[in-house]
């Protein structure tokens, strides 16, 4: 009898070590720092030796903007959308096993858990880096999307497995590079107080207070000053999907082409602290004046994301005549 019992125990031990039938009792991908994605669908995933944790999340849920603190994006897990799948393979898994239409013959999936309920939570934040450290300007290079599965239940072979919180990790998207490559030669609309500069796909506009543009020389060491505002001295930066021309500007109705890709608005200034406009005026020939417009500690905002133009940013020069 003892021999039979020992034989049964050995058989059970051997079966539990068979990779082809192994069922993981836990999911842990926190040590995997790299999140990958497929280019042809909405799959993002993490790989670890013979394991894969795969999420199907529509790209629209990863906007290039930060989420409001305390208000993450929340998606209901389903079997046809917002899916979450954990797989175990009989060999080392690679990207081709996830994204390719015709997947490699090996390794094969030896076990799969499919999430049947729960939510996917996404907390997004801007990746803000120095653009010019000496001038304290910054730029946004991308957005980090911290993903976790909340109150998720997986259907498994022998029942269900649940987690109150299952961390997935960070998925990073790339931000549009905003060139700010202007000639700094400003033009003023004849029918409004809008001054602008543009080049290729980008434009910068300032609805300037007329009191800042006066045909009189500013004494040495003095400037006319104003603050970035919501209407007067409103600052707007626009980036487009097509090339700009001068015909875009100074219209009663804003043209629909080229198509606007991103719009950033100047953050309202605080006297003596930020969002300051400085104008110096010199003569230009016998009947003209050159107005140099400089920003001090100006920032631009879109949604919940902000970057700084720096301690000093020269908008450009505007020439007027008497």
Question: Tens digit of pLDDT for each residue in 260-284?
Answer: 999 999 999 999 999 999 999 999 9
pLDDT of 237 above 70: yes
Residue in this structure with the two tokens 């068979």, named with its chain if needed: 18
Domain assignment present for residue 132? The answer is: yes
Q: What is the pLDDT of residues 89-102, one digit of tens each?
A: 999 999 999 999 98
Tell me if 258 is assigned to some domain: yes
Instruction: For 57, list phi and psi in degrees, rounded to 5.
Output: -130, 120
94 domain residue, yes or no:
yes
Indicate the burial class of 69 (C-beta count within 10 angstroms; 0-12, 13-18, 19 or more). exposed
Same domain, 168 and 195: no
DSSP state of 270: B
Global pTM reads 0.88
Inside any domain, residue 181? no
Q: Are residues 28 and 168 in the same domain?
A: yes
- 217 in the same domain as 142: no
Domain-terminating residue out of 174, 206, 227:
174
Phi/psi of residue 194, nearest 5 degrees = -80, 125
User: What are the C-alpha distances in Å from 262 to residues 71, 138, 203?
Assistant: 23, 17, 11
- Domain check: are 30 and 167 in the same one? yes
> Does pLDDT of 60 surpass 80?
yes
On whether both 165 and 230 belong to a single domain, the answer is no
200 shares its domain with 167: no
Domain count, the chain: 2
Given a cut of 60, whether residue 138 has pLDDT beyond it is yes
| Helix, strand, coil share (%) of the chain residues, nearest 5 | 10, 50, 40
Residue 5 resides in a domain: no
The answer to whether residues 140 and 95 belong to one domain is: yes
- In 10 A of CB 202, how many CB atoms? 19
pLDDT digits (tens, 9 = 90+) for 170-201: 999 999 999 999 999 999 999 999 999 999 99
Identify whether 29 is part of a domain. yes
- Of the three residues 174, 197, 223, the one that is the final residue of a domain is 174
- Domain shared by 29 and 168, yes or no: yes
Q: Residue 6 — pLDDT band, cuts 50, 70, 90?
A: very low
296 Cβ partners below 8 Å, 6+ apart? 274, 276, 277, 278, 311, 312
How many helices and strands in the chain, by DSSP H and E?
A: 2, 17
Q: How confident is the model at residue 2 (pLDDT cuts 50, 70, 90)?
A: very low
Which domain range does residue 303 map to? 187-321
Evaluate whether residue 237 is within a structural domain: yes
Is 180 among the domain residues?
no
pLDDT value at position 25? 60
105 and 228 belong to one structural domain: no
Residues in the chain: 322
């Amino acid at each position: 009898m003892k021999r039979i019992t020992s034989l049964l125990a050995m058989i059970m031990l051997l079966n539990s070590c068979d990779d082809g039938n192994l069922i993981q009792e836990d999911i842990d991908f926190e040590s995997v720092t790299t999140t990958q994605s497929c280019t042809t669908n909405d799959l993002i995933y993490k790989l670890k030796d013979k394991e894969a944790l795969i999420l199907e999340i529509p790209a629209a849920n990863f906007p290039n903007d930060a989420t409001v603190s305390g208000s993450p994006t929340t998606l209901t897990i389903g079997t046809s959308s917002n899916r979450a799948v954990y797989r175990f393979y009989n060999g080392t898994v690679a990207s081709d096993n996830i994204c390719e239409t015709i997947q490699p013959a090996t390794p094969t999936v030896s076990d799969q858990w499919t999430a049947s309920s729960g939510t996917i939570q996404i907390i997004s934040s801007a990746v803000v880096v120095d653009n010019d450290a000496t001038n304290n300007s910054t730029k946004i290079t991308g957005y980090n999307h911290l993903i976790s599965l909340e109150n998720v239940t997986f259907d498994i072979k022998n029942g269900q497995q649940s987690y109150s919180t299952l961390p997935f990790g960070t998925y990073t998207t790339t931000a549009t590079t905003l060139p700010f490559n202007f000639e700094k030669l400003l033009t003023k609309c004849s029918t409004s107080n809008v001054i602008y500069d543009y080049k290729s796909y980008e434009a910068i506009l300032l609805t300037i207070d007329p009191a800042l543009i006066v045909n009189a020389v500013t004494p040495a060491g003095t400037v006319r000053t104003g603050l970035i505002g919501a209407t007067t001295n409103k600052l707007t930066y626009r980036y487009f999907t097509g090339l700009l021309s001068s015909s875009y500007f100074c219209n009663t109705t804003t043209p629909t082409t080229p198509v606007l890709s991103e719009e950033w608005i100047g953050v309202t200034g605080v006297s003596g602290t930020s969002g300051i406009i400085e104008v110096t005026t010199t003569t230009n020939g016998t009947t003209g004046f050159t107005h140099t417009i400089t920003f001090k500690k100006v920032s631009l905002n879109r949604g919940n994301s902000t970057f700084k133009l720096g301690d000093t940013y020269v908008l450009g020069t505007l020439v007027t005549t008497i």
